[in-house]
Amino acid sequence: MLHDLWGDIVPEEIMADNLIMRVFLETIDNIIGPNGLKSILNYAHLEKYIGQLPPDNDEKEIPIQDLRKLYLSLHEMFGNKGARSLQLRVGRENVYRGLEKRPGIARAMQVASHLVPETTKMRLGLERLVKYMKESSNRSSENLVEIHEEEDWFVLIQRESIESMGITSRTPTCGVTLGIIEALIEWMTGHPHDVQEIECRAMGDQADIFRVSKKPKKKD
């Protein structure tokens, strides 16, 4: 069940960067093909992107409403489970592509995390992600997104996201953010860590909350 809420809360003039939309569309195309992508864009009333992907850069030229329409349409067409697999891949690919296109940032993060404990590397990566989220939101609220450190976990709290806004679900819906955290932590530490979305506004919670284990995943 979907609700038209986002436009009442977030001004239409807020823009997202080209890269996240481009990666989203390319990932859909890779998974279900160009005809499938065309069907989704028609369904979402985003025909302007058919055969015309956004530029491969991080300029903020994508109306946030376009991303919102894409998220909602995926949930309507594929359900939460189907949409989630796409979102996870999009999140991971955004990290890989983003680091590739921002070598200066990547090098700075690597230098800062050189010869420090693994938990410090994780915190540095999450702090960089929080900074990016705040910059991307164009909102003034300081507690829009934050991290807390516990004995065995890091906890990331996001209070405003188009991934959960306007969606009602029995399971978490923020697959892109989850994929971003997974890929970023693996890149920072060299191995995967367990990441879970333990609360989600789509489920009626007050925020989208992610828990990141400090312990690496055990090898199968």
- Domain range list for the chain: 6-216
**C-beta atoms surrounding 86 within 10 Å:** 21
| Per-residue pLDDT band at 70 (split at 50, 70, 90) | very high
Instruction: Specify the pLDDT at position 2.
Output: 38
CA dist 43 and 69 (Å) reads 9
Q: Are 211 and 195 in contact (CB under 8 A)?
A: yes
CA dist 124 and 28 (Å) reads 31
Instruction: Specify the pLDDT at position 12.
Output: 55
pLDDT for residue 139 is more than 70? no
pLDDT for residue 9 is more than 70? no
Q: Which of 217, 169, 159 is nearest to 193 (CA)?
A: 217
pLDDT in tens, 149-204: 999 999 999 998 889 988 888 999 999 999 999 999 999 999 999 999 999 999 99
Q: Are 144 and 174 in contact (CB under 8 A)?
A: no
Which residues, listed in sequence order, are joined to residue 146 by a DSSP beta bridge? Answer: 157
Give the mean pLDDT of 91-107.
Answer: 82
Q: Domain 6-216, what fold?
A: H-NOX domain (3.90.1520)
Prediction pTM value = 0.86
CA dist 14 and 122 (Å) reads 30
pLDDT for residue 207 is more than 50? yes
